[in-house]
């Protein structure tokens, strides 16, 4: 069972995923089906008007599951590591 923990922010209402199938954005496992769902979600993100706000939010609030801002959890971990190495601030 997923524990999706986030606080609502205004930009979220403008997200391209508002009316999309939630399962696409929270694929389970690494099966072909899950990868296909993740890719479909990422395609929606790439057209989303708030993709930057979404990725920023996911990074600073440590969203550790699902597709946020066009990234998987593994991709966000990589971004966080890069931020830490380069001294960029990720928490507000």
Radius of gyration of the chain measured on its C-alpha atoms: 13
**Distance between CA atoms of residues 40 and 24, nearest Å:** 7
| Helix/strand/coil (H/E/C) assignment for every residue in 60-74 | HCCCCCCCECCECHH
Instruction: Indicate the residue whose CB is closest to ligand SF4.
Output: 15
- Report the C-alpha gap between 71 and 56 in whole angstroms: 11
Report the nearest approach of ligand SF4 to the CB of residue 48 (Å).
3
CB of 69 to ligand SF4, least distance (A): 5
Closer Cβ to ligand SF4, 15 or 27, answer by number: 15
Find the binder of ligand SF4 among 17, 24, 38, 59 (CB under 6 A).
17
Contact call for residues 66 and 26 (beta carbons, < 8 A): yes
Q: Which of 24, 37, 59, 68 binds ligand SF4 (CB under 6 A)?
A: 68
| Site residues for ligand SF4 per CB under 6 A | 15-17, 25, 44-45, 48, 50-51, 54, 67-70
């Amino acid at each position: 069972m997923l524990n999706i923990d986030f606080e609502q922010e205004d930009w979220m209402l403008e997200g391209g995923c508002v009316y999309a199938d939630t399962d696409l954005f929270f694929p389970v496992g690494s099966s072909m089906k899950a990868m296909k769902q993740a890719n479909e979600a990422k395609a929606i993100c790439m057209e989303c008007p708030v993709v930057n706000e979404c990725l920023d939010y996911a990074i600073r609030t440590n969203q550790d599951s699902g597709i946020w801002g066009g990234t998987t959890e593994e991709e966000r971990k990589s971004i966080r590591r890069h931020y830490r190495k380069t001294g960029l601030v990720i928490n507000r």
